[in-house]
């Protein structure tokens, strides 16, 4: 309620349409305390204020930076609303953790790319169809008519 009048409330479906976030994710955010409801409608739908739009956008931005929902919940739990002095350093730590995860994933992808490069270099003639694939002709699943 604002100034004696009820603020414009949204159902979870409306919040989903306005943010592009699936209803299931919004329910998870609500159940984990990342966004708050203003109660329920007479039809038992969760109701949200415009503040939920900001929260969902902020969660999306943090997820886009590589933070997990657990890390976002931890940030919200340990940093009271409006206390930038606490949020900044904790968020910086979480971003370093996300960067380390990303660096590890990039390294794994680079190793996979190197294996692909090595395989292509080793089997370039077979892959181009210029010679028979000797390493593959012994495949016991190969049918006799396919040889």
Q: Quick one: which of 61, 70, 75, 65 has its CA closest to 28?
A: 70
pLDDT tens digits, one per residue of 20-79: 999 999 999 999 989 999 988 888 888 999 999 999 999 999 999 999 999 999 888 876
- Tell which phi-psi region holds residue 42, choosing left (phi > 0), alpha (psi between -120 and 50) or beta: alpha
**How large is the greatest C-alpha to C-alpha distance in the chain, in angstroms?**
83
Check residue 3 and give its pLDDT: 41
In which element (H, E) is residue 46 found?
A: none
- 95, 64 in Cβ contact below 8 A? no
The verdict on domain 1-64 having CATH code 1.10.1660.10 is yes
So where are the chain's domains? 1-64, 67-130
pTM over 0.85: no
Per the DSSP assignment, residues forming a β-bridge with 47 are 11
């Amino acid at each position: 309620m604002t100034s004696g009048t009820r603020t414009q409330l949204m159902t979870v479906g409306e919040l989903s349409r306005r943010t592009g976030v699936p209803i299931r994710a919004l329910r998870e955010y609500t159940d984990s305390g990342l966004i708050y409801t203003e109660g329920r409608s007479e039809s038992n739908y969760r109701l949200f204020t415009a503040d939920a739009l900001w929260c969902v956008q902020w969660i999306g931005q943090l997820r886009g930076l590589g933070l997990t929902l657990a890390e976002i919940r931890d940030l919200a739990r340990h940093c009271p609303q409006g206390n930038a002095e606490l949020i900044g350093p904790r968020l910086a730590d979480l971003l370093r953790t996300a960067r380390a995860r990303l660096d590890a994933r990039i390294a794994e992808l680079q190793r996979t790319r190197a294996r692909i490069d090595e395989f292509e270099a080793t089997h370039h003639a077979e892959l181009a169809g210029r010679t028979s694939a000797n390493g593959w002709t012994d495949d016991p699943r190969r049918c006799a008519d396919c040889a």
